[in-house]
Amino acid sequence: MSDKIHRFLLENLNVRGEWVSLSSSWQEIQKTADYPLAVKLVLGEALVAISLLAESLKFDGSLVLQIQGTSPVTMLVVQASSDGAIRGIARWQGDIEDDLTFNQLFGAGTMVISIENNPRPGAQQGERYQSMVSLEGSSLAACFSDYFSQSEQLNTEMWLAVNEMNAVGLLLQSLPVKNTKESIADSDGWNHAQLLADTLSNDKGKQELLTLDSKTLLHRLYHDDDLRLYDESPIRFECSCSQDKIEGTIFSLGEVEANEIVVEQGSINIDCEFCNQHYKLDKVDVTRIFTNDDTTLGTTNGSGSVH
């Protein structure tokens, strides 16, 4: 299995779909923290879900899913950009049993999906859209079903399966059919496609999702239908942290505070939570940041955030 997304069309059913598989990107993201198994698996599901969602939206920017939980998982953030880069982290408290359910992991929480468009040329910031999603579903896929039923006019559903090697998912969405004056969904086509994909919900089906390549899996499900597979596109683990952004963060701290840290600790040390990249800035760096009056600092936007 590799790291890619594959779009497809079930032409006779008026349903479009995406299949995503994360392998080395998923294994690299797991290494950034010592995740308990149950946290790891839900993080993998979230990475697949955000990749599927990013591919289904036509946008230029990044898509962020954030779950703020109560306990034991207090926070989960995953991000997918329109160019195929993904990253994610989760934070938890105490020991976590392997068999905790989705609801037991997050307790009472909120889930927010944000679309951040890249700025247009000349603009400081791109447009942002946020949606709150109920965490009442019994799984992440069920929460996404609620989200789609509120935000999409078209039937949309996803199926997810994760182990420590691979994280895989399938998304189906009905297409509007122009057979009358209005566009309507082909409900028979949707029901047929959805019923077959639902065989991926049980343990045997999840095993198939985790082990079969897209062509084999889709052929197994839809061999009687008109399946058209489009070109696949790659997905990779990539963090958007950088020396520039770190220097921007230090600039926003202010010269007095930055110098105090250097005096106390010898240098300013910052670890990126998403990729564990270590940034160390000494007295010379700090002096440069605050004496530089050329355009170098302009590239940091003086941002208060490392990410």
Residues that bind Zn ion (CB under 5 A): 239, 241, 272, 274-275, 277
Nearest distance from C-beta of residue 242 to Zn ion, angstroms: 8
Nearer to Zn ion, 277 or 287 (CB): 277
- Please write down the long-range contacts of 42-46, taking CB distance under 8 Å and 24 or more positions apart: 42/73, 42/76, 42/90, 42/102, 42/105, 42/140, 43/76, 43/78, 43/88, 43/89, 43/90, 44/162, 44/167, 45/139, 45/140, 45/141, 45/160, 45/162, 45/167, 45/169, 46/76, 46/78, 46/88, 46/140
Nearer to Zn ion, 88 or 189 (CB): 88
Nearest distance from C-beta of residue 247 to Zn ion, angstroms: 14
Nearer to Zn ion, 22 or 52 (CB): 22
Nearest distance from C-beta of residue 279 to Zn ion, angstroms: 9
Nearest distance from C-beta of residue 241 to Zn ion, angstroms: 3
Nearest distance from C-beta of residue 202 to Zn ion, angstroms: 37
Nearer to Zn ion, 37 or 85 (CB): 85
Nearer to Zn ion, 193 or 239 (CB): 239
Measured CA to CA in angstroms, residue 65 lies from 88, 103, 156, 236, 247 at distances of 9, 17, 18, 17, 26
